[in-house]
Structure 1
């Protein structure tokens, strides 16, 4: 992989075009699956090769007359979170907080408002969290559910993945 080819825009300052390049580069590093039931909207495989986005979440949101794909923002969050968990051994809550800010900046850098993006996420979060799990990937990293002591969801995930 030629890293220099991924850098289309250059700046050492905060720059939305450079961040847009980052989103594209991150998506090239993982497989993205919309085939499973994923509590908390999205997650990742234990080996960090796949980002799972709940199959019930819409793939786009309407924004100022156009459809904007949601996956780049969720992938950014999940990759950053997983890297911080695995490489720096942070607690899930700390890794999640940093990943959430990276996701927020990616959303804003794409010209959306965080409030409108969050409205879409929150509108689907409860129904996804309460859904009957039918399809769960066997390699889903369960660290977030363990670190949050979310044992009811953890139990449902393990039972369904079998």
Structure 2
């Protein structure tokens, strides 16, 4: 992979164009699946090769007369979070905070407001978290659920993955 070709914009300062390049580069590094039931809206495989987005989450949101894809922002969050968990051995809550901020900045850099984006996520979050888990990937990384001591959900996930 030619990393230099991914860098279309250059700046060592905070720059939305550079961040947009990062978001595109991150998506090239994983497979994205929307075929499963994924509590907490999105997750990742244990080997970090796949990002899972719950099959019930809309693919786009309306913003100023256009449809904006949600996948790039979720992929950014999940890849950053997984890298921090695996490479630096952070607790899920710490990795999640950093990943959430990367996601937020990617959303803002794309010209959306965080409030509008979060409204879409929050509108689907409860239904996704409470859905009957019928189809769970067998390689879903369970670290977030373990670190949050969400044992009831862990039990449901393990049973549904069998």
Query: What TM-score bracket applies, with the shorter chain setting the length?
Result: over 0.9
Q: Which runs of 5+ in 1 are unaligned?
A: none
SS at match of 1:52: strand
C-alpha RMSD over aligned residues: 0.3
Runs of 4+ aligned structure 1 residues displaced above 3 Å come to: none
Distance in 2 between the 1:160 and 1:80 partners?
26
* Paired position in structure 1 for 2:35: 35
The TM-score normalised by the length of structure 1 is 1.00
**How do residues 73-88 of structure 1 correspond to structure 2 at under 5 angstroms?**
73-88=73-88
> In the alignment, is residue 22 of structure 1 matched against residue 18 of structure 2?
no
Displacement of 1:153 after TM fit? Answer: 0.8
* Paired position in structure 2 for 1:8: 8
Displacement of 1:27 after TM fit? Answer: 0.1
Distance in 1 between the 2:116 and 2:155 partners?
33
SS at match of 1:55: coil
Distance in 1 between the 2:138 and 2:51 partners?
13
* Paired position in structure 2 for 1:98: 98
**How do residues 76-155 of structure 1 correspond to structure 2 at under 5 angstroms?**
76-155=76-155
Displacement of 1:55 after TM fit? Answer: 0.2
* Paired position in structure 2 for 1:64: 64
Per-residue Cα deviation, 1:40-62 (whole angstroms, up to 9, x for no partner): 00000000000000000000000
Displacement of 1:74 after TM fit? Answer: 0.3
Aligned residues: 162
> In the alignment, is residue 45 of structure 1 matched against residue 45 of structure 2?
yes
SS at match of 2:56: coil
SS at match of 1:51: strand
Q: Which runs of 5+ in 2 are unaligned?
A: none
Distance in 2 between the 1:113 and 1:153 partners?
31
The TM-score normalised by the length of structure 2 is 1.00
SS at match of 1:86: helix
Distance in 1 between the 2:160 and 2:88 partners?
30
SS at match of 2:75: helix
Distance in 1 between the 2:141 and 2:11 partners?
35
